[in-house]
């Protein structure tokens, strides 16, 4: 049994948002009497952690602790309009809507704080820990809870904000394709290392080493989840998956996970990843969408690594052992003949 | 583990934030791992009915007649719905962003255009009763010739898949494909040292979420319908459903926001409108969730794509012309594919600056399960083709594949094929970082390169 190793590289970019379709999102924020901030949305968390990141963005923009932010989403009766969670748009679009709403809410919060302490708004800073301080006067501060209570029961003011984003819709020129398809682009490069069994055509991915430029990692740990999950999916696309194994013939379509092949935990390679940040001019705190792109660069990197290992180009996905082995046999025959 | 590399673009970043940039624990993680998270199907609802579809066994067929008499008499069967029961049966999901024409029936009307297409909806007291009744429905089909290959479908005389389009492709403002034109590729090929053309192909791919697509609809005492759904887009679903049902938008309420994996598979609006209709007509709560088989063979997959890339390159590594013909296999209906095809066109020629580019992206109808959105929509398969092509070109020129990419990588200020000036580029830097991690040696020039400027 012979095994051949090889490595391959691929570099890609990925657009954030759905500019070609009109892409609005809204957020509403209000403070409770006790200084918590409820963010009302209609965005959907697919399990990627949207709610957590939205709480972080709101906390940052108002200047309060993350624990005091409550994300209320998932109900069209209570949440303002959102296009949906797709096109790597949610963090970018909903995040920007929250920042806009938070700016308004913060303004109201600081005005009430200034009135309570009889100082100017310009002299106040939030510490992100639940207090508002007078600049240059150590010890002179007020808690966000006190301000919220005063706003409700003394000043009769709401501490709230409305936020909306609507990126300009781009209509492609039908003749030339001139268009503005995205606000910003994330980037990725993967180096894949594989081992090919030259008797069976089976490919083992040994490692995926990738660098991702994502504008700003709002939550590095959740970025890592996307990176590992996406790389797994990319590897699966490259080597395992299809609903039509003999496409365009429709026969032998899998109907369950016994027939629909995907790599299991034992097939996973060594993942090594790096995050780079070049803030986008219009993303929330510079963020770009990272969700979708993580599956893309591993696929061609693996295909190129297989060629490097055994000299076989498989230009159709998935790259099954059958296709690799046929390629190897063809090469051997050419060399022999 | 992920390393956070700070040395690149440090001058462009603000630091010192208190909430952003911290690794807060995902709010729903403990619920997910302890099984406490409530998904749409976890609600206990009294008197719940179940909907199952009678589906086409043929790729393409005329429906001569249906006989539901035996099925309707089966124990537990409450009602069988056909196309005539659906107020606005023909729709298209992207009509909300002015995509035309309506081209897909909620329930087949006179014809089926793919294997698995819903023909009749059986509503019964239990899933088992619904399934048993589905097996007793008799549909008389006249099988028609089918076309399953994108290029065959575009040939004169190919079977017509979708009468609402009148031909087997989506029309982009009078054009048979989405075009991008930049420079003059013929001149570029004529001047090139090498010209190569390659063909790439993918097969459809399933999203494979742990939780299959589904919803439960509850008629409320106030006359409204509450739909508990795992859609990725609540208002998109609400608006499309109201149009299909011809009910005021105020009648519908969508509750969701907890999804057991989406990946683009839950942006089609397929299960909700028919389940809402069933709930309206029976005045009972109705559940419609896909089986795993339906999820794999009937729900929209990632489209298969066929991509031809023709490149002209110079001996020094510059790509001077790139011509792309890309075919998206949309299956029998549009769903989101016209959008994905445009996104594919916008993505070409990849993150490289090439002076002459010619792109034709075709959204093609065939007699298979309609494809739709999936993670990396319009881009993933294009990236596979582009980046394997880049590897072939580098080897042709006997250049290091990373150095070859750096030679062509877009830099700030470069004009893209779709007419936008590049800003915020970072392709060079991710290659430098990945090369370092993989101990991939770079030349001094490669190590020095930057996305901020093009070295002379």
Contact B255 A74 (CB under 8 A): yes
Contact B418 A181 (CB under 8 A): yes
Q: Closest partner residue to B21 among A77, A218, A262, by Cβ?
A: A218
- Look at residue A87 in the predicted model and tell me its pLDDT: 77
Provide, as residue numbers in chain A, all residues whose Cβ is less than 8 Å from the Cβ of B24.
52, 55-56, 66, 219, 221
Contact B379 A292 (CB under 8 A): yes
- Look at residue A47 in the predicted model and tell me its pLDDT: 84
Averaged over A315-324, what is the pLDDT? 98
Q: Closest partner residue to A21 among B4, B232, B339, by Cβ?
A: B339
Judge whether A304 is closer than 8 Å to chain B, CB to CB.
Answer: yes
- Report the 3 state secondary structure along chain B: CEEECCCCCHHHCCCCCCCCCCCCCCCCHHHHHHCCCCCHHHCCCCCCEEEEEEECCCCCEEEEEEECHHHHCCCCEEEEECHHHCCCCEECHHHHHCCCCCCEECCCCCEECCCCCEEEEEEECCHHHHHHHHHHCEEEEEECCCCCCHHHHCCCCCCCCCCCCCCCECCECCECCEEEEECCHHHHHHHCCEEEEEEEECCCECCCCCCCCEEEEEECCCCCEEEEECCCCHHHHHHHHHHHHCCCHHHEEEECCECCCCCCCCCCCCHHHHHHHHHHHHCCCEEEECCHHHHHHCCCCECCEEEEEEEEECCCCCEEEEEEEEEEEEECCCCCHHHHHHHHHHHCCCCECCCCEEEEEEEEECCCCCCECCCCCCCHHHHHHHHHHHHHHHHHCCCCHHHHHHHHECCCCCECCCCCECCCCCHHHHHHHHHHHCCCCCCHHHHHCECCECCC
- Look at residue A1 in the predicted model and tell me its pLDDT: 61
- Look at residue B456 in the predicted model and tell me its pLDDT: 67
Provide, as residue numbers in chain B, all residues whose Cβ is less than 8 Å from the Cβ of A59.
18-19
Q: Which of A193, A195, A292, A335 is catalytic?
A: A292
Contact A296 B380 (CB under 8 A): yes
Averaged over A274-303, what is the pLDDT? 95
- Look at residue B16 in the predicted model and tell me its pLDDT: 87
Per-residue pLDDT at A272 exceeds 80: yes
Provide, as residue numbers in chain A, all residues whose Cβ is less than 8 Å from the Cβ of B174.
174
Active-site annotation holds for A292: yes
Contact B9 A47 (CB under 8 A): no
Provide, as residue numbers in chain B, all residues whose Cβ is less than 8 Å from the Cβ of A255.
292-293, 296-297
**Binding-face residues of A in 91-110 toward B, CB within 8 A:** none
Provide, as residue numbers in chain B, all residues whose Cβ is less than 8 Å from the Cβ of A81.
235
Averaged over A259-265, what is the pLDDT? 93
- Look at residue B30 in the predicted model and tell me its pLDDT: 95
Provide, as residue numbers in chain A, all residues whose Cβ is less than 8 Å from the Cβ of B359.
177
Contact A276 B430 (CB under 8 A): yes
CA A3 to chain centre: 37
Nearest CA in chain A to B368: A250
Provide, as residue numbers in chain B, all residues whose Cβ is less than 8 Å from the Cβ of A79.
234
- Stretch (H or E) spanning A12: strand A3-16
Q: A126 CB contacts (<8 Å, ≥6 apart)?
A: A62, A63, A64, A106, A110, A132, A133, A144
Question: Is-contact A100 A94, C-beta < 8 A?
Answer: no
pLDDT tens track for A112-167: 999 999 999 999 999 999 999 999 999 999 999 999 999 999 999 999 999 999 98
Mean pLDDT for chain A? 95
- Look at residue B409 in the predicted model and tell me its pLDDT: 98
Nearest CA in chain B to A224: B2
- Look at residue A86 in the predicted model and tell me its pLDDT: 83
Apex B107 CA angle, B104 and B112, nearest 5? 70
Contact A189 B431 (CB under 8 A): yes
Regions in chain B scoring below 50 on pLDDT: none
Judge whether A192 is closer than 8 Å to chain B, CB to CB.
Answer: no
pLDDT tens track for A208-252: 999 999 999 999 999 999 999 999 999 999 999 999 999 999 999
Mutation for testing the A interface, residue in B210, B230, B304, B380 having most A CBs under 10 Å: B380
pLDDT tens track for B376-390: 999 999 999 999 999
Question: Is-contact A111 A156, C-beta < 8 A?
Answer: no
Averaged over A93-98, what is the pLDDT? 95
Contact B255 A75 (CB under 8 A): yes
Q: How far is B287 from chain A (nearest CA, A)?
A: 19
Contact A304 B391 (CB under 8 A): yes
Contact A285 B267 (CB under 8 A): no
pLDDT > 70: percent of chain B: 100
Judge whether A311 is closer than 8 Å to chain B, CB to CB.
Answer: no
- Look at residue B1 in the predicted model and tell me its pLDDT: 74
- Look at residue A84 in the predicted model and tell me its pLDDT: 85
């Amino acid at each position: 049994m012979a095994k051949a190793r090889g490595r391959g590289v691929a570099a890609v970019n990925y657009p954030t948002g759905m500019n070609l379709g009109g892409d609005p999102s809204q957020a509403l924020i209000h403070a409770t009497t006790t200084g918590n901030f409820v963010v009302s949305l209609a965005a959907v968390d697919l399990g990627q952690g949207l709610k957590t990141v939205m709480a972080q963005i709101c906390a940052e923009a108002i200047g309060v602790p993350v624990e005091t932010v409550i994300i209320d989403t998932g109900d069209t009766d209570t949440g303002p309009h959102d296009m949906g969670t797709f096109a790597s748009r949610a963090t970018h679009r909903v995040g920007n809507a929250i920042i806009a709403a938070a700016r308004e809410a913060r303004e109201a919060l600081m005005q009430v704080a200034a009135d309570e302490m009889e100082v100017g708004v310009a002299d106040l800073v939030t510490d992100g820990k639940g207090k508002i301080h007078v600049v240059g006067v150590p010890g002179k501060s007020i808690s966000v809870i006190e301000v919220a209570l005063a706003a409700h029961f003394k000043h009769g003011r709401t501490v709230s904000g409305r936020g909306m984003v609507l990126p300009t819709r781009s209509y492609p020129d039908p003749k030339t394709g001139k268009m503005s398809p995205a606000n910003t682009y994330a980037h990725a490069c993967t180096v894949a290392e594989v081992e090919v069994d030259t008797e069976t055509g089976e490919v083992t991915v040994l490692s995926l080493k990738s660098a991702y430029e994502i504008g700003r990692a709002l939550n590095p740990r959740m970025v890592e989840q996307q990176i590992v999950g996406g790389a797994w999916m990319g590897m699966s696309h490259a080597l395992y998956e299809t609903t039509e194994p003999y496409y365009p013939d429709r026969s032998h379509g899998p109907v369950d996970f016994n027939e629909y092949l995907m790599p299991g935990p034992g097939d996973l390679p060594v993942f090594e990843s790096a995050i780079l940040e070049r803030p986008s001019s219009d993303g929330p705190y510079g963020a770009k969408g990272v969700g979708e792109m993580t599956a893309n660069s591993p696929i061609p990197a693996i295909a190129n690594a297989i060629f490097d290992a055994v000299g076989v180009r498989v230009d159709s996905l998935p790259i099954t052992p059958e296709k690799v082995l046929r390629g190897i046999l063809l090469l051997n025959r050419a060399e022999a003949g | 583990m992920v390393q956070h590399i700070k040395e690149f673009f440090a001058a462009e970043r603000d630091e010192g934030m208190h909430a952003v940039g911290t690794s807060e624990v995902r709010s729903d993680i403990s619920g997910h791992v302890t099984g406490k998270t409530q998904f749409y199907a976890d609600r206990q609802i009294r008197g719940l009915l179940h909907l199952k579809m009678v589906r086409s066994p043929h790729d393409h067929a005329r429906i001569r007649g249906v006989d539901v008499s035996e099925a309707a008499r089966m124990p537990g069967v409450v009602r069988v719905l056909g196309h005539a029961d659906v107020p606005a049966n023909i729709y298209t999901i992207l009509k909300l962003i002015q995509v035309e024409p309506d081209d897909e029936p909620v329930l087949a009307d006179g014809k089926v255009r793919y294997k698995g297409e819903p023909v009749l909806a059986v509503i019964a007291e239990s899933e088992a009763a619904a399934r048993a009744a589905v097996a007793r429905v008799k549909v008389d089909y006249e099988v028609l010739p089918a076309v399953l290959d994108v290029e065959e479908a575009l040939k004169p005389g190919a079977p017509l898949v979708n009468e609402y389009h009148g031909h087997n492709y989506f029309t982009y403002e009078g054009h048979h494909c989405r075009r991008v034109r930049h420079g003059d590729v013929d001149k570029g090929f004529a001047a090139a040292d090498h010209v190569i053309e390659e063909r790439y192909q993918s097969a459809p791919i399933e999203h494979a979420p742990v939780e299959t697509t589904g919803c439960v609809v509850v008629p409320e005492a106030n006359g409204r319908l509450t739909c508990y759904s795992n859609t990725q887009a609540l208002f998109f679903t609400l608006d499309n459903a109201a149009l299909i049902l011809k009910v005021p938008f105020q009648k519908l309420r969508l509750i969701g926001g907890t999804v057991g994996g989406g990946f683009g598979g839950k942006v089609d609006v397929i299960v909700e409108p028919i389940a809402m209709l069933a709930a309206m007509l029976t005045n009972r709560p109705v559940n419609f969730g896909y089986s795993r088989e339906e999820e794999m063979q009937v729900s929209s997959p990632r489209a298969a794509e066929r991509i031809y890339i023709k490149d002209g390159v110079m001996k020094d590594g510059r790509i001077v012309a790139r011509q792309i013909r890309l075919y998206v296999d949309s299956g029998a209906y549009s769903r989101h594919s016209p959008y994905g095809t445009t996104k594919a066109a916008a993505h070409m020629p990849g993150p490289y600056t090439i002076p002459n580019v010619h792109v034709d992206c075709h959204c093609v109808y065939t007699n298979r399960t309609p494809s739709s959105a999936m993670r990396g929509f319009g881009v993933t398969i294009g990236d596979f083709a582009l980046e394997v092509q880049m590897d072939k070109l580098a080897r042709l020129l006997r250049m290091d594949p990373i150095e070859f990419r750096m030679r062509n990588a877009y830099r700030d200020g470069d004009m893209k094929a779709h007419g936008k000036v590049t800003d915020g580029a970072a392709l060079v830097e991710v290659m430098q970082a990945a090369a370092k991690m993989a101990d991939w040696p770079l030349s001094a020039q490669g190590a020095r390169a930057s996305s901020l400027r093009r070295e002379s």
